[in-house]
Amino acid sequence: MASNKSKPGRPVIKAGTSYKSPSIPELSKDKNEIILGLLSSLLEPIGRHRAAHTVKSSAKKSNKRKRTSEQDTDPAVNPQPQEPEILKHLTVGLNSTSRHLEAEAAFSKSEQTSVPDKETKATEQATRKRMGVVFLTKPKDNLVYAHLPLLCYASSGAEKEKSQHTRLVLLDPACERTIATAMGLPRAGVVGLFDDAPGAAPLLEYIRDNVALVEVPWLEQALSGKWMGINVETYLSGQV
C-alpha cells in the first residue's frame, strides 16, 4: 500500500546583509497639516502668477489672427511680468531635485577628501545653493523614489552642524493635490526647497525642530570598515 506521506520540500537558503535600510521619519497628522499649510502659503504666488499670465493655445486661429497675436505679444511692446522670486529657490520634480542633490553630494565628497585654498572655498560657498528640505508626497515604499533618502544624507556630508542637514519630509500622498494646486501644476510628487528661499524661514525652522534626520545605517556601517557578518535563513519550500 502506497504511503500518503508527502516528501519534505527542498531546503531554501536565503542570505542577506546585516545592514539596515534607510529610514524616513514619519510625521504625525498634526505636523503634516502644519507643514502643508506653511508650504502651500509659500507656493501660492506661483499658482496665482500662472493663472493670471499663462495663455492657453488655440489651434483654430487663422494665420492672420496668429500674426496679429504675435505682434501684440511682442516683448518690446508687452514685457512679460516678472515671475515670483520663490521660483528661483525651488526644484520641482524628481529629476531636477535628484540632479541637484547629486551635485551637492559630489561637493560634500570633495570637501571631505581635498583641502582647497580659502579663496576657492569661499567662492564655492558663495555660489552654492544648498537644499534645505525635500518634500515627498508619494508612498515611501515606492521604488522610483527609493534613492532620495541616500541622496539627502550624502548631500549633507560636509555639514558639521546637523541642523543644516537636508531634511526629507514624507507628506501624506493626499497632500500632492494641494501642493500642485498652489503651484498651478497637475502634479507635485517631489519639491525641493533651498535654504535661502525668501519667506521660507518659518517653514524651515519648524521642520528642523520637528522632523528627524534621514538615517542610512548601512552607509555609516560600510564606511566604518567593520565586518557586519551575513544573515542566513534556512526554511523548507511550502512553509511560511
pLDDT digits (tens, 9 = 90+) for 143-182: 899 999 999 988 887 666 777 889 999 999 999 999 999 9
Question: Cα separation of 191 and 239, whole Å?
Answer: 44
**Averaged confidence pLDDT in the chain:** 80
Separation between Cα atoms, residue 9 and residue 14, nearest integer Å: 15
3-state secondary structure of 28: coil
pLDDT-based confidence at residue 44 (cuts at 50, 70, 90): very high
Three-state DSSP state, 192: strand
- Whether 195 contacts 91, CB under 8 Å: no
50-59 mean pLDDT: 71
Q: Mean pLDDT lowest for which of 16-20, 57-61, 199-203, 225-229?
A: 57-61
User: Which structural domains are found in the chain, ordered by start?
Assistant: 24-48+84-114+123-211 (3.30.1330.30)
Asked whether the whole model's pTM tops 0.95, one would answer: no
pLDDT for position 126:
46
Rg (CA), the chain: 25
C-alpha cell at 72: 501684440
Q: Span 181-186, mean pLDDT?
A: 95
Of 65 and 22, more confident: 22
| Residue 110, number of CB atoms within 10 A of its CB | 12
Half-sphere exposure of 209 (CA within 13 A, CB side): 9
Distance CA 118, CA 128 (A): 15
**Other Cβ atoms closer than 10 A to 137:** 23
CB neighbours of 77 closer than 8 A, spacing ≥ 6? Answer: 71
Q: Which of 46-60, 149-163, 207-221 has the lowest mean pLDDT?
A: 46-60
Q: Are 166 and 148 in contact (CB under 8 A)?
A: no
C-alpha cell at position 69: 497675436
- pLDDT attached to residue 18: 61
